[in-house]
Amino acid sequence: MVSRDSLKRVFAQMSPEAQENARQEAKSRRIGVEDVVLEACLDDVQGQLYALRRRRPELRVVEGGRA
- The answer to whether 9 and 37 are in contact (CB under 8 A) is no
Task: Tell me if residue 57 falls in helix, strand or coil.
Answer: coil
Q: What is the pLDDT along the chain (67 residues), one digit of tens a residue?
A: 788 899 999 999 999 999 999 999 999 999 999 999 999 988 888 887 877 777 776 666 666 655 4
Q: What is the CA radius of gyration of the chain?
A: 14
pTM: 0.68
17 CB burial (10 A radius; 0-12, 13-18, 19+): exposed
So what's the pLDDT on residue 67? 47
Cα 29 from Cα 38, distance rounded (Å)? 14
At CA 35, angle to CA 42 and CA 26, rounded to 5? 125
